[in-house]
Amino acid sequence: MRKCLVVLVAVIAVAMVAAPAMADMKASGFYRSKAWLSNFHDGGGGPSLRNSDEEQTNAYVEQRFRVKFDFGTENVKAVWYLESDMLFGDASGSSPTPATRNAGGALGGDKVQTETKNIYVWFKIPDTSIDMTWGLQAQKDAYQGVFYNADLAGIFMNGKYEPIGYTLGWGKLYEGDNQRSDDVTLYQAEVGWAPSKETKLGFNFYFLQDDAGRNPTGAARLDPTAGSFGPSSPVDFYKLRLYMPGIDASMKLGPAALSGFIFYQTGTFESFIGDPDVDVSAFGIDVRADMALGPGKFFIEGLYLSGGDGSGNDYEAPITLGDYQANGSNTGPGGYSSYTRHRMQILLASWDTINVSQCLIGCSGGEYGDSLGNGGRGLWFIGAGYNQKFSEKLSGEVNIGYMAATDLLEGESSFRDKDFGTEINAGVAYSIAKGLSFGVYGAYVFLGDFVADDATSDFQDPWTTYARINYSY
């Protein structure tokens, strides 16, 4: 009995000593589930428009769980961010493979599939305004994710010297042979000036160094005659130096909050086998206004990305990290650029995406790719929306958007035009308890003739509806 008491006292003493350290661990995240009915979102995470028909109705339930652990103090912490995705009724146990991502919802569960989103250390440098993030982390550009919004391994430093703030960053997108210059690396520098609480001006510079010599999709680097990324050419001996200066700004003007950005891309795809080099010259502009309208809030936004017809040795559409969904045999999950504040559900990447990521363009399962560069054609979009709280717990929104290609590649005008289509969507959400909400959403796209091609031209207008439960903690 005496030995048992000694052991019990020792355990209590250890717990008391460990308590302060345990108090420095925090957990946060969310659980989200969506029950779908759609002729477009088919649950596969990839394009389904080409398989759509009048009788097709996809019905399924998906879920996502994320938890972020913070270990440390106010000056230094380690962060571990985990994710688990699945569809109700999908693979379980050890079939078909012992471990795979985005599965585990079938009878019995027990699938090994938890993913690490981020794992890094964050710390402040003593006696300075500087903090640093070192490791696999989430980062985003100053252009609402048009260029990139992704998890990447790197080192990023933030500092302030009022009213100036700055960020310096370095990220390694792909590491080839670590004894050779065959990597894909991102460098960035951002300086923000905030002369007042309601005014901000940012000056930004990004440099993408691609020495891999392969197409971001894993096939040919670039077809200089087609003027677009893609597997149409066997040529894969190009290295890219891409320079991207730009400005972002926000200000209050009367009742409206204005924001926007402009950037320019220049650089060269350098051939190292004697083929002609390909010059990059592209730009993007975005302008948005938010304002109170009656009992709710209204926004209108326009985005323009330059494009070309692919003739000559020029590439005239913005290159984004959405073009880097894979590198050689290294195939990633995608979603490396993400422009979502337009509130679209089908035309562009959805603000509400979890496991199932499908759209016409600009998401990991985009019918026309992940990149808003649109294969060299460019893109323009205009959208508006209104949201309102009907009561303390009930809110709703309605949004509309139109999208078109900036240009068509040489020869495409014989079977398609620039019009992607017009989307209308709406949704309502009800707050059940603190952190817990339930919502119902729907979207419909009146397709334009950009989706026509000379092999298939009977696409149906895509529509989608889903019920959504979300718990944030």
**Statement: residue 50 has pLDDT above 50:** yes
Please name every residue paired with 35 in a beta bridge, in sequence order, or none if there are none: 61, 467
> Residue range 144-163: average pLDDT?
96
Q: Quick check: is 19 in a domain? A: no
Task: Provide the pLDDT confidence category of residue 275 given band limits of 50, 70 and 90.
Answer: confident
CB contact at 8 A, 402 and 382: yes
pLDDT of residue 46: 60
pLDDT of residue 460: 83
**Statement: residue 101 has pLDDT above 60:** yes
For 413-425, the pLDDT digits (tens) are 888 899 999 999 9
pLDDT of residue 454: 52
User: Could you give the number of structural domains in the chain?
Assistant: 1
- Candidate from 63-72, 77-86, 364-373 with smallest mean pLDDT: 364-373
Angstrom distance (rounded) from CA 377 to CA 311: 11
**Statement: residue 55 has pLDDT above 90:** no
**Statement: residue 380 has pLDDT above 60:** yes
Q: Tell me the CATH number at 304.
A: 2.40.160.100
Nearest CA to 388 among 292, 251, 287?
A: 292
Q: Quick check: is 271 in a domain? A: yes
Q: Quick check: is 173 in a domain? A: yes
pLDDT of residue 95: 65
pLDDT of residue 66: 97
> Residue range 317-323: average pLDDT?
93
CB contact at 8 A, 406 and 304: yes
28, two tokens: 């946060």
Percent of the chain with pLDDT over 90: 64
CB contact at 8 A, 345 and 360: no
Q: Quick check: is 12 in a domain? A: no
Rounded to 5°, the CA angle 260-262-268 comes to 150
Q: Quick check: is 360 in a domain? A: yes
- Domain containing residue 308: 32-472
298, two tokens: 């209204």
Q: What's the whole-number average pLDDT of the chain?
A: 86
Q: Quick check: is 70 in a domain? A: yes
CB contact at 8 A, 202 and 140: no
Q: Quick check: is 11 in a domain? A: no
- Candidate from 268-277, 286-295, 449-458 with smallest mean pLDDT: 449-458
> Residue range 54-70: average pLDDT?
90
**Statement: residue 32 has pLDDT above 80:** yes
Q: Quick check: is 21 in a domain? A: no
Angstrom distance (rounded) from CA 227 to CA 309: 7
More confident residue, 15 or 245: 245
The DSSP result for 251-303, as a single string, is EEETTEEEEEEEEEEEEEEEESSSPPPEEEEEEEEEEEEEEEETTEEEEEEEE
Contacts 24+ apart (CB under 8 A), 183-187: 183/209, 183/211, 183/212, 184/208, 184/209, 184/210, 184/211, 184/212, 184/324, 184/327, 185/209, 185/210, 186/148, 186/152, 186/154, 186/321
